[in-house]
Chains A and B, each alone.
Chain A
Amino acid sequence: MTMSTDFNLSTLIPGAAPTMPAVSAPPVMQLENVSVFYGNYEAVRGTTMAIREHQITALIGPSGCGKSTVLRSLNRMNDLVNGARVAGKVTFHGQDLYAADVDPIQVRRRIGMVFQKPNPFPKSIYENVAYGLKINGIKDNMDDRVEQALRGAALWDEVKGKLKSSGLALSGGQQQRLCIARAIAVKPEVILMDEPCSALDPIATGKIEDLMHDLAGTYTIVIVTHNMQQAARVSHHTAFFTAELDEAGVRHGRLVEFNDTGRIFTNPGDKRTEDYITGRFG
């Protein structure tokens, strides 16, 4: 991993100047030749990449390219889909996440997730944040922990007076930050974000992006987005996926290029990446 690239280089698209210098950091997770199947259909084939500690990794690509599928294979959310199966190896600190004796519940406790549509529980703001703590048997200093998580998600000042009111009464952007607070309350190492801003307006999106910068100091973040500017703004590393037909005419998602975000957006190594980033594709 190189140190920061020179960002004065003209970028391929305006408004997408990469701002997060990639730094060398040890990998927290590694994907080795990971393929995901739904039944007999291979949705994504042969993905190899590393998720580096305290960095933000963006997965981008046209719809249907399998970026969300890959994201969900990182904390075994795919287990919940009937017939879903992962081949290859996903490791977390060197441990194979799909080993026979690994419990997906333990995995998800350490690798949290934020979803596309804000999905707070139909409970109070406080209860939403406390839920993960309670199921993990943490009962002491509950108020402090809830406050910390809400502060961590930059939501505390907006909700401190109404912790007992429903999480569903908040605006979309606040709901999404509540979901982030809920995720970080259990102190995961990695947070997976599946297009976390796609349901939000630009102002709310800006707040979440700022928040991601702050969170990167403590957590490792993997974000799926189809907004290239967003990937360029927030991430250190970018993986570009695309969907391609194989010899038999079946569509598979696959990883085209994985590199520092600066490189991907200023000097992509693959023609397909360049086409996509400059809008000539999908």
Chain B
Amino acid sequence: MTVVDKSAQLTRKDRGRHADRLFWAVCVFAGLAVLIILALILVTTVNEAFPAFSADFFTSTDWIPNDPDGDGPRGPVYGTLAFLYGTLVVSAIAVVVAVPVSIGIALFLTELAPPKLRATIVTLIDMLAAVPSVVFGLWGILVLAPAIAPVYQGIHDVVGGVPVLGSLFGEPRSSGRTFMTAGLILAVMIIPIITSISREVFATVPDSDKQAAWALGATRWEMIKGAVLPHSFGGVVGAVILGLGRAMGETIAVALVIGSSVQITANLFESGYALPAIIVDQWGESTGDFRAALIGMGVVLFIITVLINLLARVVVRRAEIRMKGASA
């Protein structure tokens, strides 16, 4: 270094440099908070739930948290299969109903709606997303369930004798609080997220592909089928998986309308239970191993939803890469 005075002004002043460093450190810590919290969730809940992880927990369909005859041979059993089953069934119903509807809305918004109408519809779909799930649950239990029970009866009367449909749409619960009702409510709740991601995916379809289809004399639907859908498949699958993750974790609405019966049945018009629902329902009355079992179900739910979300991201990422590779 030269000894000219001027160069001293160019060396960093310690105070400013420290401020920069400190700010950086604070920001990094804030970013790390996400990782820390996720790690803590896993560690602390697994630790607390550990006593509950027995063979029964993963294989039994029996849920007998309170030993019915004191200290007899029938000790408490914490089998969670019925809840896992219920979660899978209602999520499956939700996805089956929500996916076509969401894709339809997304296509309507990107390919069909006049620009002026578009903003209004997006606002309405945003409103659908803004309604708290407990409000959907309230509406579901007090309005939808009683109103839809006769519909279930009607469907059962028609298809009850048909082999497969007959067992899916069996004798309905008169309360209307069933797998099906929970699935339908969930469907409404996951429509906004699947719609908004699908919409983004459709918007990335290159205009040149659409023009190619138009120039061949395609109708709007043929253009969508030929140019939009093939390009969007991966992204839409990612959206669906994300929607599935949301449906599986949704707690309150399902807890209110699923009917709270611990049972595994193919009959979608029967009452059932779901993982998150049992946790909030029985939390207040639980202690000791009982509570540990509820926390254990939370761990199962956590792991499932994290895996599903990671999977969704991988699928979307791969679809993005493929699309970029295609246009390059």
Contact = CB atoms under 8 A, between A and B. Distances in A.
Whether A and B touch (Cβ < 8 Å) is answered with yes
Interface of A: 75, 77, 80, 82, 105-110, 112-115, 117, 119-123, 131-132, 135-136, 168, 179, 182-183, 186, 192
Given A119-B206, A122-B230, A131-B226, A108 B211 contact: no
B126 interface: no
A115 B230 contact: no
The 3 closest A-B pairs by CB, nearest first: A109-B217, A113-B215, A119-B208
Given A135-B222, A135-B226, A119 B209 contact: yes
Contacts of B326: 122, 168
Interface residues of B, number: 20
A92 to B, nearest CB: 13
Contact of A105 (B206, B208, B209, B217): B217
26 contacts: A75-B215, A77-B214, A77-B215, A80-B210, A105-B217, A105-B218, A107-B217, A108-B215, A108-B216, A108-B218, A114-B215, A115-B208, A119-B206, A121-B212, A121-B227, A121-B230, A122-B230, A131-B226, A132-B217, A135-B217, A135-B218, A136-B217, A179-B212, A182-B216, A183-B216, A186-B217
A71 B210 CA distance: 18
A119 to B, nearest CB: 4
Most buried by A among B209, B213, B230: B213
B120 interface: no
A179 B209 CA distance: 11
B206 A131 contact: no
Contacts of A107: 217
A120 B218 CA distance: 15
Interface string B212-241: 111111110010001100110000000000
A136 B213 CA distance: 12
Nearest to B212: A119
Given A131-B226, A135-B222, A80 B211 contact: yes
Contact of A121 (B209, B214, B219): B209
Interface string B225-267: 0110011000000000000000000000000000000000000
B31 interface: no
B115 interface: yes
Majority SS of interface residues in chain B?
helix
A271 B280 CA distance: 85
Nearest to B217: A109
Contacts of B212: 115, 119-121, 179, 182
B5 to A, nearest CB: 56
B230 to A, nearest CB: 6
Nearest to B205: A122
Contacts of A121: 209, 212-213, 226-227, 230
Contacts of A192: 215
B321 to A, nearest CB: 13
Nearest to A119: B208
B217 A115 contact: no
A232 B184 CA distance: 66
A117 B208 contact: yes
B323 to A, nearest CB: 8
A82 B115 contact: yes
B241 to A, nearest CB: 21
A257 B226 CA distance: 40
B231 A132 contact: no
A80 B218 CA distance: 13
A102 to B, nearest CB: 13
A186 B226 CA distance: 15
Contacts of A131: 213, 216, 226
Given A108-B218, A135-B219, A182-B216, 13 more contacts: A80-B214, A112-B217, A113-B215, A115-B215, A121-B212, A121-B213, A121-B230, A122-B230, A122-B231, A131-B213, A135-B216, A136-B217, A186-B217
Nearest to B223: A135
A120 B217 CA distance: 16
Contacts of B231: 122
Nearest to A116: B208
Contacts of B218: 105, 108, 132, 135
